[in-house]
């Protein structure tokens, strides 16, 4: 299987809701409608043995974008599912830890570094962030004020 | 030289504190113990508690999370003791000068805790085991002129 | 009654600060909680302030032991983003350093694993032979660790033919010593008793947690980025992915030691095949707007880097995921239900980038060769008594 046949197979199931995205010989980017997101993740993880490599979060000006990278080891390509998250008071999205246990630490990292809440996450506590930083400090956001940070 | 510094300079017991280093310096410190470098020839020995230590081998640029722990190690260590800042990060923060989570370098933290703590800088990224041994030996030699 | 044992953040068995809370009921571990972040320096944030050519030096300091892996994964990501071609000679040099790094990392781990279960002879041996690799790396790159060889589009420095030829005798010794180490570890009934069947990670759990590298390969998953997502010269080289079905600590030891031998084999092939002439850098002008992913098989598993560019000379976003981040949470599957005494070696068996600095015994007053001979003789005697003739390595090779 290669990225284009893989995409064809998925669009047979999800139709136009799979969205557009770039693809090359070993990379596939998908921009699905949020409503099919969970089913899509489940299909990649369970039916195609996709290994969740990591979740990258990108702070764009008006929104956050979560990138779920799945490596399909046997097929030799990586597919990335993009999910936009609104940048409001409490940005939040659904956790996938209950489906993929390996996502627990990844989601915890995004939670404390970007302040995106993962609903129904089993362990919402700090992993990396120092005690000296406030709960409201999100270091990896672009607008995080590094200059005026107190020393302790 | 008083009897305290004489005591330390003879057989320095080392305690290793990693305050956020990348492992390189730590591995080189462990390397000093293995057959090729064998720091025990000089009486140096790694110990398991700061209470037994004469020299604290500190690596890393001191991250925000490890700073309070490092201060507790400084409190716990038996006085007098020397702090050896191993690696460029520990000496001057080096590459992590602008990192938001690094509050070092080591000298800044030790000075805030106690101005009299002697800090020995061993720069290098990472310093070779020879450099670590040489730095320690040079530093301990200097003790002859310093009162602790 | 359940008791909680706090370990760390500064503990003699750990080289890096980490904080564990082992909840135990008598001898049995019933829960483990981990606090990390003492080493969190904010490299991803810092990376956004550096230019594309400066970042390799920064990510080299993500981990001192994998100091070739992170820059390599980053360069693969940038090259994926900008469709940058890499000259063949540069690929050879990259692969060569990567494999030498794997040898030194696996030997380092073998030594530490020996130390964790109180077998300091293995620690001293493995670290002594590891020095040979470091000398070799110093000969080829100029530094023992942190080689500074990588840049997007190629490598920073040339490697001369005479240096390459000079590496052969060391590789030969290294091969003999690694074989010796393999046999010494797998022949030892005590080590076998301590490691076999301990900390089993079943295949489905390895998949669920997304385990990587030797940890997943010891559980029977043949995933290896070098084979699945070929980069460098791996397609041209003769090597194989080592897997084991058992999933226990012994299997993880075995996989790493056999991988060391594979790496030595690959290094020799690279020395044979590497062209003497040719460019080592394609000197890319700029990185266009876009995004790229790089995944590189580090000694501990796949390093994953994601780079986003907006066409300027700095990455807009650089995400780094180290292998331990995925491997470490497998303790939930492996550690629970085992005894406290085994917890350390199980936690260490994923090679979580932490190690020990403590209680090292030096073999003063004796030539270690004598010791080695004595030990080999003892093993031979034991085998004769048991009626076994082949060494473990010979058995593997026969398969």
Q: Comparing C17 with B89, which gets the higher pLDDT?
A: B89
Cβ-Cβ contacts under 8 Å, B65 against chain A? 129-132
**Which of A78, A105, A139 lies closest to C42 in CB terms?**
A139
CA within 13 Å, CB half, B42? 22
Q: How confident is the model at residue A96 (pLDDT cuts 50, 70, 90)?
A: very high
The pLDDT tens digits for A116-136 are 999 999 988 888 888 888 888
C113 CB neighbour count, 10 Å cutoff: 26
Percent of chain B with pLDDT over 90: 39
Question: Which one of A134, A150, A151 makes the best mutation probe of the B interface by having the most chain B beta carbons within 10 Å?
Answer: A151
**Which of B63, B67, B100 lies closest to A149 in CB terms?**
B100
Contact A56/C317, CB-based, under 8 Å?
yes
Terminal alpha carbon distance of chain C:
49
C235–chain A Cβ distance below 8 A for any pair: no
**pLDDT value at position B147?**
66
Cβ-Cβ contacts under 8 Å, C67 against chain B? 22, 24
Helix H or strand E segment including A117:
strand A117-119
For the CA atoms of A126, A132, A137, A143, what is the dihedral angle to 10 degrees?
-130
d(CA C300, CA C302): 7
Question: Which one of C18, C226, C228, C305 makes the best mutation probe of the A interface by having the most chain A beta carbons within 10 Å?
Answer: C228
Percent of chain A with pLDDT over 70: 98
C280 contacts C109 by C-beta, under 8 angstroms = no
d(CA C306, CA A78): 12
In this structure, of A85-89, B28-32, C1-5, the range with the lowest mean pLDDT score is C1-5
**Residue A45: inside a domain:** yes
Contact A130/B101, CB-based, under 8 Å?
yes
Contact B65/C355, CB-based, under 8 Å?
no
Q: Would the pLDDT of C306 be above 80?
A: yes
Contact B34/C42, CB-based, under 8 Å?
no
**Which of B64, B67, B98 lies closest to A133 in CB terms?**
B64
Domain boundaries, chain B: 3-143
Q: How confident is the model at residue C16 (pLDDT cuts 50, 70, 90)?
A: confident
B4–chain C Cβ distance below 8 A for any pair: no
Q: Give the residue from C53, C52, C21, C55 showing the smallest Cα distance to C36.
A: C21
Stated length of chain C: 399
Q: Nearest 5°: CA angle at A120, between A118 and A124?
A: 65
Q: Tell me the shortest Cα–Cα distance from A94 to chain B, in angstroms.
A: 29
The pLDDT tens digits for C349-372 are 877 763 222 222 223 334 445 555
Q: Tell me the shortest Cα–Cα distance from B88 to chain A, in angstroms.
A: 20
DSSP secondary structure, chain B, as one string: --HHHHHHHHS-EEEEEESS--SHHHHHHHHTTSTTT-GGGGT-EE-S-GGG-SEEEEES--BTTTHHHHHHHHHHSPSS-EEEEESHHHHH-GGGTT-TTB---HHHHHHHH-TT-EEEEE--SSPPHHHHHHHHHHHHHHGGG---
What the block records as the tokens of A147 is 């200059």
In this structure, of B80-94, C86-100, C128-142, C354-368, the range with the lowest mean pLDDT score is C354-368
B67–chain A Cβ distance below 8 A for any pair: yes
Q: Would the pLDDT of C209 be above 50?
A: yes
Q: Give the residue from C381, C99, C136, C117 showing the smallest Cα distance to C250.
A: C117
* Structural domain harbouring A64: 3-87
The pLDDT tens digits for C244-281 are 999 999 999 999 999 999 999 999 999 999 999 999 99
Cβ-Cβ contacts under 8 Å, C135 against chain B? none
Q: In a 10 Å sphere around its CB, with 0-12 CB exposed, 13-18 middle and 19+ buried, how is residue B108 labelled?
A: middle
**pLDDT value at position A150?**
67
Q: How many structural domains are present in chain A?
A: 1
B112–chain C Cβ distance below 8 A for any pair: no
Contacting subunits of C (3+ beta carbon pairs below 8 A): A, B
Strands C154-155 and C150-151 turn out to be antiparallel
d(CA B35, CA B57): 20
What is the arithmetic mean of pLDDT over C126-142?
91
Output the CA–CA distances (angstroms, integers) from residue C211 to A48, C84, C155, C157, C214, in the order listed: 17, 30, 30, 34, 9
SS (H, E, C) A44-92: HHHHCCCEEEEEEEEECCCEEEEEEEEEECCCCEEEEEEEEEECCCCCE
Q: Would the pLDDT of C307 be above 80?
A: yes
**Residue A11: inside a domain:** yes
Contact B64/A146, CB-based, under 8 Å?
no
Least CA distance to C225: which residue of chain A? A73
B64–chain A Cβ distance below 8 A for any pair: yes
What is the arithmetic mean of pLDDT over B107-133?
91
Architecture of domain C42-338+353-362: Orthogonal Bundle (1.10)
Q: Tell me the shortest Cα–Cα distance from C142 to chain B, in angstroms.
A: 12
Cβ-Cβ contacts under 8 Å, A139 against chain B? 100-101
Q: Would the pLDDT of C387 be above 80?
A: no
d(CA C302, CA C296): 5
Contact B35/C46, CB-based, under 8 Å?
no
Q: Tell me the shortest Cα–Cα distance from B35 to chain C, in angstroms.
A: 6
Q: Would the pLDDT of C189 be above 60?
A: yes
Cβ-Cβ contacts under 8 Å, B103 against chain A? 151-152
Q: How confident is the model at residue C381 (pLDDT cuts 50, 70, 90)?
A: confident
Contacting subunits of B (3+ beta carbon pairs below 8 A): A, C
Residues 106-165 of C with CB under 8 A from A: none
Output the CA–CA distances (angstroms, integers) from residue C112 to B61, C36, C108, C127, C188, in the order listed: 25, 21, 6, 9, 17
CATH class of B3-143: alpha beta
Cβ-Cβ contacts under 8 Å, B17 against chain C? 10
What is the arithmetic mean of pLDDT over C41-51?
89
């Amino acid at each position: 299987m290669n990225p284009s046949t893989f995409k064809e197979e998925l669009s047979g199931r999800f139709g136009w809701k799979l969205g557009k995205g770039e693809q090359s010989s070993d990379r596939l980017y998908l921009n699905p409608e949020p409503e099919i997101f969970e089913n899509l993740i489940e299909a990649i993880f369970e039916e195609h043995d996709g290994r969740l490599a990591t979740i990258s979060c990108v702070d764009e000006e008006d929104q956050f974008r979560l990138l779920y990278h799945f490596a399909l080891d046997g097929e030799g390509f990586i597919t990335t599912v993009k999910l936009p998250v609104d940048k409001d008071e409490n940005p939040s999205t659904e956790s996938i830890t209950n489906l993929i246990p390996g996502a627990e630490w990844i989601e915890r990292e995004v939670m404390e570094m970007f302040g995106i809440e993962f609903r129904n996450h089993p362990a919402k506590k700090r992993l990396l962030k120092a005690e000296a930083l406030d709960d409201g400090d999100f270091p990896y956001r672009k607008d995080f004020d590094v200059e005026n940070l107190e020393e302790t | 030289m008083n009897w305290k510094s004489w005591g330390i300079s003879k057989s320095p017991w080392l305690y290793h504190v990693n305050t956020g280093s990348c492992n390189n310096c730590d591995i080189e410190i462990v390397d000093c113990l293995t057959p090729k470098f064998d720091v025990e020839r000089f009486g140096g020995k790694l110990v398991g508690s700061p209470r037994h230590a004469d020299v604290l081998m500190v690596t890393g640029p001191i991250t925000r999370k490890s700073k309070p722990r490092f201060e507790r190690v400084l409190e716990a260590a038996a006085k007098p003791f020397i702090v050896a800042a191993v690696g460029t990060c520990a000496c001057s923060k080096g590459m992590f000068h602008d990192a938001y989570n690094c509050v070092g370098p080591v000298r800044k933290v030790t000075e805030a805790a106690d101005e009299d703590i002697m800090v020995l800088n061993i720069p290098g990224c990472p310093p070779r085991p020879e450099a670590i041994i040489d730095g320690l030996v040079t530093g301990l030699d200097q003790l002859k002129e310093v009162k602790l | 009654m359940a008791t909680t044992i706090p370990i760390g953040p500064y503990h003699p068995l750990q080289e890096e600060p980490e904080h564990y809370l082992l909840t135990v009921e008598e001898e049995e571990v019933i829960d483990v909680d981990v606090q990390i972040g003492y080493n969190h320096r904010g490299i991803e944030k810092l990376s956004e302030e550096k230019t594309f050519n400066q970042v390799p030096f920064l990510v080299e300091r993500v981990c001192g032991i994998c100091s070739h892996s992170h820059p390599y994964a980053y360069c693969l990501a940038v090259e994926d983003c900008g469709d940058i071609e890499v000259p063949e000679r540069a690929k050879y040099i990259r692969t060569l350093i990567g494999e030498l790094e794997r040898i030194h990392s696996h030997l380092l781990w073998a030594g530490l694993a020996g130390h964790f279960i109180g077998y300091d002879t293995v620690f001293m041996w493995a670290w002594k032979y590891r020095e040979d690799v470091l000398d070799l790396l110093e000969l080829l790159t100029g530094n023992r660790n942190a080689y500074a060889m990588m840049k997007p589009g190629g490598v920073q420095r040339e490697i001369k033919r005479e240096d390459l030829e000079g590496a052969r005798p060391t590789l030969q010794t290294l091969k003999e010593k690694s074989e010796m180490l393999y046999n010494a570890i797998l022949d030892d009934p005590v080590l076998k008793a301590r490691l076999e069947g301990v900390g089993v990670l079943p295949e489905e759990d390895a998949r669920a947690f997304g385990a990587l590298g030797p940890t997943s390969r010891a559980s029977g998953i043949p995933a290896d980025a070098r084979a699945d997502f070929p980069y460098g010269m791996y397609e041209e080289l003769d090597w194989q992915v080592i897997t084991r079905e058992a999933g226990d600590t012994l299997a993880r030891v075995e996989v790493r030691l056999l991988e060391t031998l594979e790496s030595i084999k690959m290094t020799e092939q690279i020395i044979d095949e590497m062209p003497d002439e040719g460019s080592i850098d394609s000197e890319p002008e700029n990185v266009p707007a876009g995004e790229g992913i790089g995944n590189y098989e580090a000694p501990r598993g796949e390093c994953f880097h994601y780079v986003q560019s907006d066409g300027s000379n700095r990455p807009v976003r650089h995400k780094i995921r180290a292998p331990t981040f995925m491997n470490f949470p497998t303790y939930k599957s492996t550690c629970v239900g085992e005894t406290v005494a085994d917890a350390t070696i199980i936690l260490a068996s994923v090679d979580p980038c932490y190690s020990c600095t403590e209680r090292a015994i030096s073999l003063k007053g004796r030539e270690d060769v004598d010791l080695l001979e004595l030990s080999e003789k003892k093993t031979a005697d034991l085998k004769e008594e048991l009626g076994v003739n082949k060494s473990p390595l010979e058995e593997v090779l026969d398969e």
